[in-house]
């Protein structure tokens, strides 16, 4: 209930987190000192690469981010209404449900060769793989969220005179929101994994390509720099997700 | 006086989910409630009280007999008969004010009497809070206000204060009585507290163990606000009936 105090609670938590990070860096540095730099470069070498190659890194990161946003956006725009339609129409739910279960058991990366064949190398194919990764967790969790709305609230809404519009927008949507967010977050994480997988197989630029090229050039420092960039982007944006989620779902606190 | 709610020869049986066994909840129940009357229903737990309310609310259909409201047969859920649940069933994502105005807003009538009801039920200071931040007593005030906001002909209360501590319970009884005195809505109050029934109701209906039938129909004529200690006799009589099987 003491909402203002919550922000301050962050700093005592940040300390152990920073400590853990430091220890990991130290272990990395020690390990790197025992291997030649063309096998395992140390943190400082990687940092230097990040600084000197920053414009190249940013360029690749932008391409990757664009593909993620394209594929993920499509997954949200198609996935959420589909979940609502499935929740509203039991017959449709049974018809499509089994198909979805089958499709979502296929790892998104397994789509890559087919998609490359159909779409060709480019932003479109990478975005399509992202879509395949993000779509299923989004639909599945949103669908489950609709069922998780307590029956007494559904009853109360109808009893108080809610028509279909109010029922869906003001009762089902907020009631399902916690699980919808779970799906959105899972889908987001999978989107980043999928995009790198797609770029590793074939793409015009992007962080996945950068990592692959680094291998071909025998530049492990550049590969690690690319990995750091992906990790930072995915983790950083996930953080933003958590902030939005806490805001939208503040009634749960 | 006109009949606000009438059940005649109502039978209702549930089919148990696992076994398919029929559970007869009501076997020919008759009950009449006049417009503006506050009627309490008491009886042992599991006897069919909730079933009675759900039939009037239109959540259930009788297997036989008739359920009418204002002379018209009950056909499904309607805003003329609003249920108040024991746990309030508040929308957790809406503030107190938004919960109370839900009904009027759903029907495109703006916020309706929300401000007035918040004041009347002592919810002024809590208008912007979420249900999570409220005590049990406050939550039930909101549930009551939210039901009154749609201005139903009949209010159906299913052990609305059953989960509250003794003190909040008494306060909420006062709040309910005040709301009733102000609006004179027809109210059906299911309660397992004989004291609560005697304190609030014009009439106390004592229901037999399942299948429910009306065992006694006791009019309480004492002036309001009532002093329950002065109603010891009637309380004992009713409590005795609730306890003994026949
Ligand atoms: N959905 C159901 N399925 C099977 N039996 C039920 C169902 N709902 C209620 N019952 C049974 O019907 C009887 C009456 O229930 P109810 O009206 O809830 O009683 P009360 O509110 O008086 O405690 C109880 O024995 C209960 O177990
Ligand atoms: Mg009950």
- H or E stretch including A198? helix A173-201
Give the mutation target among B17, B21, B22, B25 for probing the ligand 1 site: most ligand atoms within 8 A of CB: B25
Q: CB of A179 within 8 Å of any CB in chain B?
A: no
Return the residue in A161, A174, A181 with the most chain B beta carbons within 10 A, the one to mutate for interface testing: A161
Q: How far apart are CA A136 and CA A83, in angstroms?
A: 10
Which atom, in ligand 1's list, is nearest to the CA of B53? 17
- If asked whether residues B54 and B156 sit together in one domain, one would say yes
Residue B167 inside a domain? The answer is: no
For residues B223 and B179, membership in a common domain is answered with yes
Contact between B86 and B163 under an 8 Å Cβ cutoff? The reply is yes
In order of their start, the domains of chain A are 42-252 (1.10.3720.10)
Q: Whole-model pTM above 0.95?
A: no
Confidence (pLDDT) at A14? 83
The pLDDT score that the predictor gives to residue B212 is 87
Instruction: Give the C-alpha separation, B99 to B143, whole Å.
Output: 8
| B91 and B130 belong to one structural domain | yes
Domain of B234? Answer: 1-77+152-160+172-246
Q: How confident is chain B (246 residues) per 10-residue block, as mean pLDDT? A: 87 92 93 96 92 96 95 94 95 97 94 92 94 95 96 96 93 94 95 94 93 91 89 90 78
Q: Is B85 on the interface with A (CB under 8 A)?
A: yes
Q: Which of B90, B115, B150 is the last residue of a domain?
A: B150
Q: Which alpha helices (DSSP H) does B184-224 contain, by range?
A: 194-200
CA dist B190 → A101, A113, B65, B110, B228 (Å) = 45, 65, 21, 31, 18
Are B72 and B194 within one domain? yes
pLDDT computed for residue A12 by the predictor: 74
Contact state of A156 with B83 under an 8 Å Cβ cutoff: yes
pLDDT, tens only, B152-206 = 999 999 999 999 999 999 999 999 999 999 999 999 999 999 999 999 999 999 9
Is A251–B93 a contact, with Cβ atoms under 8 angstroms apart? yes
- In this prediction, residue B246 carries a pLDDT of 63
Residue B122 maps to a domain: yes
Same domain, B138 and B210: no
Say if the Cβ atoms of B146 and A160 lie within 8 Å: yes
Supply the pLDDT for residue A22. Answer: 93
Residues B109 and B183 in one domain: no
Q: Looking at residue A33, what is its pLDDT?
A: 93
Residue B145 in contact with residue B118, Cβ under 8 Å? yes
**Domain assignment of residue B65, yes or no:** yes
Residues B71 and B1 in one domain: yes
> What does residue B186 show for φ and ψ, rounded to 5 degrees?
-70, 130
pLDDT along chain A (253 residues), means of 10: 49 84 94 91 95 96 96 98 93 91 89 88 91 96 95 96 93 95 95 92 88 93 95 92 91 84
Atom 16 of ligand 1 has which residue's CA nearest to it? B48
Q: How many domains does chain B have?
A: 2
Q: Which residues 207-246 in chain A show a CB within 8 A of chain B? A: none
A109: closest CA among A92, A73, A77, A133? A133
B163 contacts chain A (CB < 8 A): no
Among residues B168, B122, B174, B169, which one has the least CA distance to residue B145?
Answer: B122
Distance B49 CA to ligand 1 centre (A): 8
H/E element, B5 = strand B3-15
Whether residue B166 lies inside any domain: the answer is no
> Which residues, in sequence order, are CB contacts of B62 under 8 Å at separation 6+?
B7, B10, B11, B12, B26, B55
A206: left (phi over 0), alpha (psi -120 to 50) or beta: left
- B126 and B209: one domain? no
Same domain, B71 and B140: no
Claim to verify: residue B21 and residue B41 sit in the same structural domain: yes
HSE-up of residue B209 (Cα within 13 Å, Cβ side): 4
Which residue in chain B is spatially nearest to A171 when comparing CA positions? B91
């Amino acid at each position: 209930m003491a909402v203002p105090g919550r922000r301050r609670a962050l700093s005592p938590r940040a300390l152990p987190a920073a400590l853990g990070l430091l220890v990991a860096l130290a272990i990395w540095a020690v390990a790197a000192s025992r291997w030649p730099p063309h096998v395992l470069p140390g943190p400082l070498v990687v940092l230097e690469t990040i600084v000197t190659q920053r414009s190249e890194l940013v360029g690749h990161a932008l391409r990757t981010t664009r593909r993620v946003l394209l594929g993920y956006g499509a997954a949200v725009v198609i996935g959420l209404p589909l979940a609502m339609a499935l929740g509203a129409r039991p017959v449709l739910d049974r018809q499509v449900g089994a198909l979805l279960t089958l499709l979502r058991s296929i790892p998104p990366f397994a789509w890559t060769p087919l998609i490359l064949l159909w779409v060709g190398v480019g932003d479109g194919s990478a975005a399509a793989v992202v879509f395949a990764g993000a779509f299923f967790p989004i639909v599945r969790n949103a669908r489950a969220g609709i069922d998780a709305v307590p029956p007494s609230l559904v009853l109360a809404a109808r009893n108080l005179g809610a028509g279909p519009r109010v029922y869906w927008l003001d009762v089902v949507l907020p009631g399902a929101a916690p699980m919808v967010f779970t799906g959105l977050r899972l889908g987001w994480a999978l989107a980043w994994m999928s995009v790198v997988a797609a770029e590793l197989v074939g793409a015009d630029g992007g962080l996945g390509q950068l990592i692959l090229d680094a291998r071909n050039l025998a530049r492990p420092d550049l590969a690690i720099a690319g990995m750091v960039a992906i990790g930072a982007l995915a983790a950083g944006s996930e953080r933003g997700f958590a902030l939005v989620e806490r805001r939208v779902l503040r009634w749960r606190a | 006086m006109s009949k606000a709610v009438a059940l005649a020869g109502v039978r209702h049986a549930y089919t148990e989910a696992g076994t398919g066994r029929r559970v007869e909840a009501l076997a020919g129940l008759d009950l009449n409630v006049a417009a503006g009357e506050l009627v309490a229903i008491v009886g042992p737990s599991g006897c069919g009280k909730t079933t009675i309310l759900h039939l009037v609310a239109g959540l259930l259909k009788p297997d036989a007999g008739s359920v009418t409201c204002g002379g018209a047969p009950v056909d499904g859920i309607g805003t003329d008969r609003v249920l108040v649940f024991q746990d309030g069933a508040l929308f957790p994502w809406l503030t107190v004010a938004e919960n109370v105005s839900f009904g009027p807003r759903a029907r495109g009538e703006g916020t309706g009497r929300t401000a007035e009801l918040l004041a009347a039920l002592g919810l002024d200071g809590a208008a912007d809070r979420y249900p999570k931040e409220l005590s049990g007593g406050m939550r039930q005030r909101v549930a009551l206000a939210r039901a009154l906001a749609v201005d139903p002909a009949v209010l159906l209360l299913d052990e609305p204060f059953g989960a509250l501590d003794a003190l909040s319970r008494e306060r909420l009884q006062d709040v309910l009585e005040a709301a009733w005195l102000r609006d004179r809505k027809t109210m059906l109050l299911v309660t397992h507290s004989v004291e609560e029934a005697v304190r609030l109701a014009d009439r106390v209906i004592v229901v037999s163990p399942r299948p429910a039938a009306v065992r006694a129909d006791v009019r309480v004529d004492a002036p309001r606000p009532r002093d329950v200690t002065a109603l010891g006799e009637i309380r004992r009589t009713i409590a005795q009936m609730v306890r003994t099987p026949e």
